[in-house]
Amino acid sequence: MTILVIGATGKTGRRVTAALDALGVAYRPVSRSTPIRFDWTDQSTWAAALDGVTAVYLVPLGMTLDDTEVAAFVPQAVVAGVRRIVLLSARGLDSDDGRERAVRESGVDWTILRPTWFSQNFSEDYFLAEVLAGEIVLPAGGDGAHPFIDAQDIADVAVAALTQDGHAGVTYELSGPEALTFGEALARIGDVSGRSVRVVDVTPADYTELLMQGGFAQGYAEVLTMSVIGIRDGQEAALSDGVPSVLGHDGGSFDDYVKEAAGAWR
Ligand SMILES: NC(=O)c1ccc[n+]([C@@H]2O[C@H](COP(=O)([O-])OP(=O)(O)OC[C@H]3O[C@@H](n4cnc5c(N)ncnc54)[C@H](OP(=O)(O)O)[C@@H]3O)[C@@H](O)[C@H]2O)c1
């Protein structure tokens, strides 16, 4: 068994490869910057990535909801011999999502992961520059909370689904164990980093515009804006049971995450 790990340099992908390493499972890590180059926007790179693999951890392109690439890739993967696909989807998407549909209709074993926002967005991605600058611009002032999830827990669930039986045909809703407002999350980051970071409230329309200026496709920028508004209005606070049901223990807490990630903010 060789597992193709797409997005292997990303927040979940590199944790998936580390866990597969620890288990001694063979895998092929790919992204646009790996020795075997894989680019979602360049189909000529797909065959070499798929050569000899039997399972795929499928991280779709971020910043867009376009399903064209995944819909083209999945049948190609099945023809190449892939028998199991674990898709990284997102909370708020449903079975109408084109990428989820492509995986469900693949004819091979599939598992879909729908996580909440990653805690690591504050230390490895979207929000890091803003945390370091002391201000996060979001239409999220207020009391609404969100159970940010540790990317390590998503990776551990993905590895279970890739390497163990019993996860085929299942969609897992994944969240962290505690819902926090953005203000609370930033206060905890402040406690370990000594930084004071405030939320600067903007209108939803201005936020969508900012995301698009940052490279997000319009449709995805609108979905992310709706997600932030959902958090602000308290509709995104529910905890999901996917992590404990697969791993047999609660996911990592936000406090554990900030201790581990503290170096990113110093
Ligand atoms: N972040 C969140 O809070 C969150 C929450 C729920 C769901 N998700 C979903 O997770 C997925 C990705 O997450 P993310 O945005 O947080 O990023 P990420 O997985 O941390 O990083 C993106 C990965 O994709 C690779 N990549 C970027 N462009 C690529 C391309 N054209 N072809 C092939 N690989 C490419 C990157 O590596 P290179 O730059 O080396 O190519 C990197 O390995 C998205 O589908 C998103 O919807 C994210």
- How many angstroms separate the alpha carbon of residue 154 from the centre of ligand 1? 13
CB of 62 shorter than 6 A to ligand 1: yes
Looking at residue 25, what is its pLDDT? 98
Looking at residue 143, what is its pLDDT? 81
Instruction: In whole angstroms, give the CA distance from residue 66 to residue 259.
Output: 36
pTM for the model stands at 0.96
Alpha-carbon dihedral angle through residues 47, 102, 16, 109, given to the nearest 10 degrees: -100
Nearest atom within ligand 1 for CA of residue 32: 41
Cα atoms in the Cβ-side hemisphere of radius 13 Å centred on 37: 8
Protein residue with least CA distance to atom 1, ligand 1? 118
CB of 121 shorter than 6 A to ligand 1: yes
CB of 38 shorter than 6 A to ligand 1: yes
- Given a contact cutoff of 8 angstroms between Cβ atoms, the answer to whether 83 and 168 are in contact is no
Domains in the chain with CATH codes? 2-265 (3.40.50.720)
Tokens for 25? 């499972």
CB of 175 shorter than 6 A to ligand 1: no
CB of 39 shorter than 6 A to ligand 1: yes
CB of 59 shorter than 6 A to ligand 1: yes
- Per-position pLDDT tens, the chain of length 266: 899 999 999 999 999 999 999 999 999 999 999 999 999 999 999 999 999 999 999 999 987 778 999 999 999 999 999 999 999 999 988 888 999 999 999 999 999 999 999 999 999 988 999 999 999 999 987 788 999 999 999 999 999 999 999 999 999 999 999 999 999 999 999 999 999 999 999 999 999 999 999 888 898 899 889 989 999 988 899 999 999 999 999 999 999 999 999 999 98
Nearest atom within ligand 1 for CA of residue 63: 15
CB of 216 shorter than 6 A to ligand 1: no
